[in-house]
Amino acid sequence: MKFLKKVSIPAAVVCVSLFCMVFFRHMPVNHLWKGYQILFVPKEVPEDTVMSVLSDSGCKDVITASQQKVPFDLQSGPAVSVSVDNPYLTKRAAYFSDSSSRYALYYIPDSYGHSLVKAVHTLQEKNHTAAGIDVRSSFPWIVPVICFLFYILLLLRAENRTAFCIAGFFPVIFSLTFPFYPNAAAVCLILYALYIMQKFWRRTYAVKRITASPVIILYSAGAIIIVFVNALTSGLIFILSCAGAFSAVYILREYQLEKDANSIFNPVYIRPAQMVSAVSRDSVRLLLISAAGIVILVLSLLFNTASVPSSDTKDLSLPVPVRYTKNAVLPGLDDYIIWSWNTASYPYRSLNSTEKHSAVPANGETVTMPEYTETENGITEKDTVMLRFDSSFRKTVVRNIDSLPYPAVEKLMKRQGNNVSVIYAGSGGSSYDGLSLLLLITALFVPLSVFIYIKCGRKI
């Protein structure tokens, strides 16, 4: 019972740590639109030429300006929907042009990402066109792979494998749920710090030795600084993952103490932690391996940056979805729903009515038609609700988008969801991630500085 009381709080920390790493995971998605990528091509290039290259490269369901129609699939006919005085259709055309009207824009589904890269290479090299795509990245598997391999290598060389296996598990999970290059470098650093810590496991004065070790302090501080500079959220989760690691190790320690209390003979280490060297010859090799892992991350970052084709354009502003704002320039899904309501209700509105019609309907607003019925007392009139602007109407409009028989820009809007505004913002193709590169170089400085310090004959 005492054991359960002692480990209840650490166990809760472990659970919270794992939950937060999984629930608040953040994947690197750098293109502007959810589910789509933008291809921008100078307007001088005919659309037929661009579509031919895209088709030959394997791209399908491309959303283009020439394919757009009046997206109306309710009870009214096309003639009625075109006659509605609403700026939606006019503003919608801006989706296919940058803010300066120099480039035509094409929206390609993410599933054709590799085909799009091929098409851009063709446009740039064979057609000599200044084409490009918005920033794009896929899941960087190299990040968790490097961390996992380094974790396994350290585990095989560890003297106290159980303690290191439990402690190192948490940073490795962090590298999988927050797979960014600087985070991977930080995980490599903290794994090496944990490897040094396990040397003092169950020795007297272990805590004092750990807190006074310059190697452990430098590696741990370097890892924490890197993840916080990279992103505040990842920094907080990283701290929580470290808390989970130390809590799990504390549970292991209490379990072993409980087990030892019931044992007749318990072996103990003779030498205290102060007499154990933090960095042995084997540790120096692993130190250099950690540096090599960070070098691989640097090369991978540079390769991924160079592998995505981009144009030499500068100050290119493309349509970008953002959280709802009153400064929206282009229409979004909510605007389409309002336009659909105004279009559907238009035939039922009296042209002779003096009542001013609101362009934005209120929730629950209805459109009625008088219905006449012959009864014993003569002709009676009753208002019948023809349309009601409610959640059912909105769901019907959104659901009908999928049935539009052409690549409609409304499908792009639907993919982004409600409460999304569209503005113009800078993009201009692949961006060079200077911050990540700087953080990786900073991380590389940590093992190299320790190595030089040791080679100079200093003891740690």
pLDDT digits (tens, 9 = 90+) for 186-215: 999 999 999 989 888 878 778 888 888 888
Whether residues 203 and 288 fall in one domain: yes
The CA-based dihedral angle spanning residues 231, 236, 239, 244, taken in that order and rounded to the nearest 10 degrees: -130
Q: Are 319 and 53 in contact (CB under 8 A)?
A: no
Residue 79 has pLDDT above 70, yes or no: no
What is the number of structural domains in the chain?
2
Mean pLDDT of the chain: 83
How far is residue 313's CA from residue 193's CA, in Å, rounded to a whole number?
45
Q: Do 115 and 161 fall into the same domain?
A: no
Residues 85 and 156 in one domain: no
Q: Report yes or no: 309 and 117 within 8 Å, Cβ to Cβ.
A: yes
The answer to whether residue 385 is domain-embedded is no
Tokens representing residue 259 in the block: 């087990």
pTM of the model: 0.60
Higher pLDDT, 239 or 342: 239
Q: Are residues 440 and 405 in the same domain?
A: no
Say whether both 83 and 146 belong to one domain: no
Residues 218 and 162 in one domain: yes
> Does the pLDDT value for residue 419 go beyond 60?
yes
Residue type, 42: P
Same domain, 122 and 7: no
Residue 178 in domain: yes
Domain that holds residue 84: 36-137+333-349+393-426
For 147-186, the pLDDT digits (tens) are 999 999 999 988 899 999 999 999 999 999 999 999 999 9
Buried residues in 183-194 as b, exposed as e (16+ CB within 10 A): bbbbbbbbbbbb
Tokens 């990283």: give the residue. Answer: 238
Q: Is 376 helix (H, G, I), strand (E, B) or coil?
A: coil
Please calculate the CA angle 417-423-425 and round it to the nearest 5 degrees: 120
Query: Closest Cα partner for 133 from 158, 116, 152, 155?
Result: 116
Is the pLDDT confidence value at 103 over 60?
yes
22 and 150 housed in the same domain: yes
62/211 same-domain check:
no
**Sequence-ordered strand ranges (E) for 193-332:** 317-323
- pLDDT value of residue 456: 74
Query: Both 193 and 158 in a single domain?
Result: yes
Indicate if 293 and 344 belong to the same structural domain: no
DSSP states along 306-338: HHS------S-EEEEEEE--TT--B--HHHHHH
User: Residue 254 domain-assigned?
Assistant: yes
Q: What share of the chain is helix, strand, coil (3-state, %, to 5)?
A: 55, 10, 30
**Model pLDDT for residues 233-280, shown as the tens digit of each residue:** 899 999 999 999 999 999 998 888 877 777 676 676 667 777 777 777
State residue 429's pLDDT score.
Answer: 41
pLDDT of residue 268: 64
Q: 35 or 81, which is more confident?
A: 35
